[in-house]
């Protein structure tokens, strides 16, 4: 096998740069196999002690973390704002604030969700047996994160991993290493023992080394392409994975909506975080009766958005995109719309890494901007006439992260929601549910495998141990043990009929036979 370092030169340092200004923020080691393996081994060692703590004790550490974040929320948001080139307001509300509620939820509920439970085992229970389920941590969780929410995504996963008794090793994105290092600093500030959280900075190769390091499970958040590569690598060691991947999220708007509120939501859903949200509204389907009014109002509002970057937390609405590569991808989609005869109603122009929020019409599902994840500030708007057509259009995608349905008729909205092949459907809202920690987050189709957040996300952090007790196990032999005999064979047939015959008469005669034979059969031994 040829590892990537053996075929390419890697720079020893990663440069973190504010994409909005070009200003250098810091340099961080571009770690290799040795550093990753050492971090994982510290995390493995620490996990032995961490798993012995009670849920309450682990909760106390998470509470300290939460309090530190609350008291320093503006400073943390400033680091994120600089590394991403977006306003501090945006960083604060979307990337830091949601973590406080998430911490509370898992401090209060982890023990309850992971309590030991008895399971019903039917007739086996009558035969003196009992089964219980208990949950136990995997060990070390490897977390590989993207840059678009460099704090809330990994920190949410770290809190859940730690509360469940795991330790964690985080590989932040190469675009946001300072935010990753800041997370580690916060854990150090609260005095958490060494190895409970490790952070390894670096590029994709560092991530690959983490997948190969012997961690017990990988939580990956990022693009579908990288997700597929990671699954392939993880398959070599059968390391389990949770994958939170890309999206192409539809917004379906019916003709009874409040146009003013719904167009505000469409603008926010499409352009928030410069459209670099996995759950961004990336396709809008509007009922033909209100199509023109909706489009005109959305264009009017989009023109009011202020594009730029400054240290004043709320001077601009839309920041830069993260990188040249991201800019090129968005430009490619805009050019494809123009080439294929679609109309750009507003926006479309770029300046350095800033892109004007852009609205397209006269597009359909053959356009790149409608089929592929754009991950930028663009909104293609299309028409539909019937409920079935809206469902068909929304489902016509290889992604299945979130969708939203907009109407005053909640019965209709729920009926439609149940027909959408998406892991989250929001009714009269968008974007929000990643920030609601009580609810599961994940994707169908190419948007992901497994869940984070909610009870389901916690269960991804633990293994299930089934404990089965045969209360008669020291009193008698089982009738199916060796040696096989004629009596045991007939006993087995009688047992089959006792349990499964629909005839009461047959059940009764089988019961009599079993009662008569059980003593004899259980004495037949090797
Ligand atoms: P990316 O896939 O380029 O990178 C994500 C992480 O993977 C980075 O830390 C990167 O260094 C690492 N990586 C790259 N190659 C690797 C390899 N071979 N082995 C191991 N690790 C490797 O994604 P990105 O550009 O940082 O993020 C944007 C994407 O993330 C979008 O597609 C977006 O939809 C998706 N995303 C999904 C969610 C979700 O919850 N579903 C949330 C945020 C972002």
Is the CB of 440 within 6 Å of ligand 1? no
Question: How confident is the model over 264-301, as pLDDT tens digits?
Answer: 999 999 999 999 999 999 999 999 999 999 999 999 99
Taking the centre of ligand 1 as the mean of its atom positions, its distance from the CA of residue 157, in whole angstroms, is 15
Taking the centre of ligand 1 as the mean of its atom positions, its distance from the CA of residue 224, in whole angstroms, is 8
Taking the centre of ligand 1 as the mean of its atom positions, its distance from the CA of residue 47, in whole angstroms, is 27
The yes or no reply on domain 32-245+456-465 and CATH 3.40.605.10 is yes
Question: How confident is the model over 323-373, as pLDDT tens digits?
Answer: 999 999 999 999 999 999 999 999 999 999 999 999 999 999 999 999 999
Is the CB of 174 within 6 Å of ligand 1? yes
The helix/strand/coil state of 243 is: strand
pLDDT band at 126 (very low <50, low <70, confident <90, very high): confident
Q: What's the chain's average pLDDT?
A: 96
Tell me which of 146, 423, 436, 437 to substitute to probe ligand 1's pocket, judged by most ligand atoms within 8 Å of the beta carbon: 146
The ranges assigned to domains in the chain are 32-245+456-465, 249-436, 476-523
Question: How confident is the model over 141-198, as pLDDT tens digits?
Answer: 999 999 999 999 999 999 999 999 999 999 999 999 999 999 999 999 999 999 999 9
Taking the centre of ligand 1 as the mean of its atom positions, its distance from the CA of residue 146, in whole angstroms, is 4
Q: Note the pLDDT of residue 127.
A: 87
Q: Note the pLDDT of residue 9.
A: 85
Whether pLDDT at 526 is above 70: yes
Burial of residue 14, with CB atoms counted within 10 A of its CB: 0-12 exposed, 13-18 middle, 19 or more buried: buried
Whether pLDDT at 18 is above 60: yes
CA distance 306 to 89: 14
Are the beta carbons of 343 and 121 closer than 8 angstroms? no
Q: Note the pLDDT of residue 509.
A: 97
Catalytic residues: 244, 278
For the chain, the residue count is 526
Is the CB of 84 within 6 Å of ligand 1? no
Taking the centre of ligand 1 as the mean of its atom positions, its distance from the CA of residue 226, in whole angstroms, is 6
Nearest CA to ligand 1 atom 11: 204
Nearest CA to ligand 1 atom 16: 204
Is the CB of 230 within 6 Å of ligand 1? yes
CA distance 356 to 465: 53
The helix/strand/coil state of 137 is: strand
> CATH top-level class for 249-436?
alpha beta
| Token pair 């392939």: residue | 232
Question: How confident is the model over 34-61, as pLDDT tens digits?
Answer: 999 999 999 999 999 999 999 999 999 9
DSSP code of residue 370: H
Is the CB of 148 within 6 Å of ligand 1? yes
Ligand 1: atom nearest CA of 175 is 26
Is the CB of 245 within 6 Å of ligand 1? yes
Nearest CA to ligand 1 atom 40: 244
Q: β-strands 402-406, 444-445: how paired?
A: unpaired
- Provide mean pLDDT across the span 21-45: 98
CA distance 200 to 72: 23
Angle, helix 387-395 to helix 410-417, in steps of 10 degrees: 40
- Provide mean pLDDT across the span 308-312: 94
Taking the centre of ligand 1 as the mean of its atom positions, its distance from the CA of residue 266, in whole angstroms, is 25
Q: Note the pLDDT of residue 8.
A: 63
CA distance 343 to 354: 21
Is the CB of 372 within 6 Å of ligand 1? no
Helix (H) or strand (E) holding 168: strand 167-171
Whether pLDDT at 1 is above 70: no
Question: How confident is the model over 386-420, as pLDDT tens digits?
Answer: 999 999 999 999 999 999 999 999 999 999 999 99
Closest CA to 176 of 142, 210, 199, 205: 199
Closest CA to 83 of 356, 309, 422, 393: 309
The helix/strand/coil state of 353 is: coil
Residues 6+ apart with CB under 8 A from 111: 55, 56
Question: How confident is the model over 92-114, as pLDDT tens digits?
Answer: 999 999 999 999 999 999 999 99
Helix (H) or strand (E) holding 129: strand 129-137
Is the CB of 146 within 6 Å of ligand 1? yes
- Furthest-apart CA atoms within the chain: distance in Å: 90
pLDDT band at 219 (very low <50, low <70, confident <90, very high): very high
Which residues face 216 on adjacent strands? none
Is the CB of 278 within 6 Å of ligand 1? yes
Nearest CA to ligand 1 atom 8: 173
């Amino acid at each position: 096998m040829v590892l990537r370092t053996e075929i390419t030169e890697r720079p020893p340092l990663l440069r973190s740069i504010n994409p909005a200004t070009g200003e250098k923020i810091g340099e961080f080691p571009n770690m290799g196999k040795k550093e990753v393996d050492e971090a994982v081994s510290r995390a493995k060692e620490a996990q032995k002690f961490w798993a012995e703590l009670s849920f309450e004790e682990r909760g106390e550490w998470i509470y300290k973390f939460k309090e530190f974040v609350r008291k320093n929320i503006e400073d943390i948001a400033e680091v994120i704002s600089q590394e991403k080139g977006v306003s501090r307001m945006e960083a604060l509300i979307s990337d830091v604030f949601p973590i406080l509620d998430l911490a509370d939820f898992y401090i209060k509920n982890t023990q309850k969700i992971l309590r030991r439970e008895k399971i019903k085992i039917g007739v086996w229970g009558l035969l003196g047996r009992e089964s219980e389920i208990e949950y136990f941590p995997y060990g070390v969780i490897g977390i590989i994160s993207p840059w678009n929410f460099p704090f809330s995504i990994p920190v949410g996963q770290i809190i859940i991993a730690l509360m469940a008794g795991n330790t964690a090793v985080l590989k932040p994105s190469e675009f946001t290493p300072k935010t990753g290092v800041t997370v580690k600093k916060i854990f150090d500030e609260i005095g958490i023992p060494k190895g409970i959280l490790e952070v390894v900075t670096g590029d994709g190769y560092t991530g690959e080394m983490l997948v190969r390091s012997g961690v017990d499970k990988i939580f990956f958040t990022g693009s579908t392409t990288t997700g597929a590569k990671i699954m392939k690598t993880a398959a070599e060691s059968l390391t389990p994975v949770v994958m939170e991947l890309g999206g192409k999220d539809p917004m379906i708007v019916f003709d009874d909506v409040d146009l003013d509120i719904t167009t505000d939501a469409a603008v926010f859903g499409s352009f928030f975080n410069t459209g670099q949200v996995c759950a961004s509204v990336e396709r809008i389907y509007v009922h033909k009766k209100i199509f023109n009014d909706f489009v005109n109002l959305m264009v009017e509002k989009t023109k009011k958005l202020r594009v730029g970057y400054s240290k004043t937390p709320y001077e601009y609405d839309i920041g830069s995109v993260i990188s040249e590569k991201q800019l090129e991808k968005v430009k490619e989609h805009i050019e494809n719309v123009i080439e294929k005869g679609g109309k750009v109603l507003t926006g479309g122009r770029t300046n350095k890494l800033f892109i004007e929020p852009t609205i397209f019409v006269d597009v359909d599902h053959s356009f790149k901007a409608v089929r592929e994840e754009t991950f930028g500030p663009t909104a293609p708007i299309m028409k539909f006439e019937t409920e079935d057509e809206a469902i068909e259009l929304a489902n016509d995608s290889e992604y299945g992260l979130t969708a939203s349905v907009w109407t005053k008729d909640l019965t209709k909205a729920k009926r439609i929601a149940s027909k959408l092949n998406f892991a989250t459907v929001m009714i009269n809202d968008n974007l929000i549910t990643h920030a609601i920690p009580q609810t599961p987050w994940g994707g169908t189709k190419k948007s992901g495998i497994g869940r984070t957040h909610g009870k389901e996300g916690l269960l991804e952090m633990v293994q299930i141990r089934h404990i089965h007790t045969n209360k008669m196990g020291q009193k008698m032999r089982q009738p199916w043990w060796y040696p096989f005999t004629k009596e045991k064979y007939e006993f087995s047939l009688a047992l089959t009929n006792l349990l499964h015959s629909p005839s009461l008469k047959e059940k009764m005669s089988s019961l009599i036979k079993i009662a008569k034979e059980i003593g004899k059969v259980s004495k037949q031994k090797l």
